[in-house]
């Protein structure tokens, strides 16, 4: 990947390596600026498995790919990115969508047909829209941009960590920069103001993550107080009346 020291940023180095790859120089070479690991959030598409390391000009062992259907910044994907960032000493994050993503082409009818063919009832989707349940996307470009912004907003990544949004051509490996991640730490969501004492903060996940909002806890149902029977004075029996008279007589001073 390029001669060491000739590029200002890691992204510049990646793009230079990508040009070399497209020119027919696929041999992975060490990267000067990226010493450590290249950390990617990308799609499950098997075409990317061998293509992406070559397109970045690095060896497969230098690239950590967190993958799911359509490179969504789900809560677990962001958790894994953060774990890889700290455990494997990454410095920058690349969210890489790709052209011809099947998750952008899967129609609701395709999903339902696939389920029916496999004998899975539609009720298994729990009433959700078929494409929504599987996380299908509308546009690979917009999805990569959205995912990069969601990753940037994660408060566990150190402030200022560059998170780039790229699109790779699934056939040629050509990289296109959709959004550079440098100098974008100001987009980080400010922490919420401290709650006043005695008022518990509302429980809600970060809006960028694909997590359904948690419903506020329901207050315990108040049951009406039990209706106690009013004390009923029973008529005193003859023996009780006699004992009462005796008690009064004993208490009387001679």
State the pairing for strand pair 175-179/163-168: antiparallel
Smallest gap, in angstroms, from Cβ of residue 104 to Zn ion?
Answer: 7
Of 102 and 180, the one with the shorter C-beta distance to Zn ion is 102
Token pair recorded at residue 127: 């009433």
- Please give the size of the binding site for Zn ion, defined by CB under 5 A: 3
Smallest gap, in angstroms, from Cβ of residue 45 to Zn ion?
Answer: 4
State the pairing for strand pair 90-98/163-168: parallel
Q: Which range, of 20-28, 41-49, 86-94, 117-125, touches Zn ion by CB under 5 A?
A: 41-49
Contact status, residue 154 vs residue 206, Cβ threshold 8 Å: yes
Helix, coil or strand: residue 238: helix
Contact status, residue 105 vs residue 71, Cβ threshold 8 Å: no
Smallest gap, in angstroms, from Cβ of residue 102 to Zn ion?
Answer: 6
Smallest gap, in angstroms, from Cβ of residue 11 to Zn ion?
Answer: 22
Q: Which range, of 36-44, 128-136, 200-208, 211-219, touches Zn ion by CB under 5 A?
A: 36-44
Q: How far is CA 86 from the centre of its chain?
A: 17
C-alpha closest to that of 64 among 98, 92, 32, 41: 41
DSSP string, 144-186: HHHHHHHHHT-TTSPTT--EEEEEE-TTT--EEEEE--TT-GG
Smallest gap, in angstroms, from Cβ of residue 40 to Zn ion?
Answer: 13
Of 43 and 153, the one with the shorter C-beta distance to Zn ion is 43
Smallest gap, in angstroms, from Cβ of residue 85 to Zn ion?
Answer: 23
DSSP string, 23-36: TT-------STT-S
β partners of residue 64: 39
Distance in angstroms (rounded) separating the CA atoms of residues 240 and 95? 91
**Among positions 13, 45, 92, 208, the unique one binding Zn ion when judged by CB under 5 A:** 45
Token pair recorded at residue 53: 């390391």
Q: Which range, of 35-43, 81-89, 106-114, 175-183, touches Zn ion by CB under 5 A?
A: 35-43
Asked if 13 interacts with Zn ion (CB under 5 A), we say no
What residues from 99 to 138 belong to the interface with Zn ion (CB under 5 A)? 101
Asked if 43 interacts with Zn ion (CB under 5 A), we say yes
Asked if 66 interacts with Zn ion (CB under 5 A), we say no
Q: Which range, of 97-105, 143-151, 185-193, 234-242, touches Zn ion by CB under 5 A?
A: 97-105
Smallest gap, in angstroms, from Cβ of residue 176 to Zn ion?
Answer: 15
Of 105 and 204, the one with the shorter C-beta distance to Zn ion is 105
Of 101 and 148, the one with the shorter C-beta distance to Zn ion is 101
Token pair recorded at residue 165: 């949004």
Report the interface residues with Zn ion, using CB under 5 A: 43, 45, 101
């Amino acid at each position: 990947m390029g001669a060491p020291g000739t590029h200002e940023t890691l992204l510049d180095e990646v793009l230079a390596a990508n040009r070399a790859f497209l020119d027919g120089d696929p041999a992975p070479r060490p990267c000067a600026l990226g010493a450590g690991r290249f950390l990617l959030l990308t799609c499950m598409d098997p075409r990317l498995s061998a293509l992406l390391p070559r397109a970045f000009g690095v060896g497969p062992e230098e690239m950590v790919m967190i993958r799911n259907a359509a490179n969504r910044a789900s809560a677990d994907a962001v958790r894994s990115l953060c774990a890889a960032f700290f455990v494997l000493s990454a410095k920058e994050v690349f969210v890489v969508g790709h052209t011809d993503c099947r998750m952008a082409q899967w129609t609701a009818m395709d999903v339902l047909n696939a389920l029916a063919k496999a004998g899975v009832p539609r009720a298994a989707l729990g009433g959700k829209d078929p494409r929504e349940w599987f996380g299908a996307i509308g546009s690979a470009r917009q999805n990569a941009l959205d995912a990069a912004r969601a990753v940037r907003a994660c408060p566990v990544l150190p402030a200022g960590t560059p998170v780039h949004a790229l699109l790779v051509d699934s056939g040629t490996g050509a990289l296109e920069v959709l959004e550079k991640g440098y100098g974008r730490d100001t987009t980080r969501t400010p922490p919420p103001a401290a709650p006043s004492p005695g008022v518990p903060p509302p429980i809600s996940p970060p809006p960028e993550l694909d997590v359904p909002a948690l419903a506020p806890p329901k207050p315990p149902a108040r049951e009406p107080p039990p209706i106690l029977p009013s004390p009923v004075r029973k008529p005193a029996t003859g023996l009780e009346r006699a004992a009462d008279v005796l008690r009064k007589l004993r208490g009387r001073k001679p």
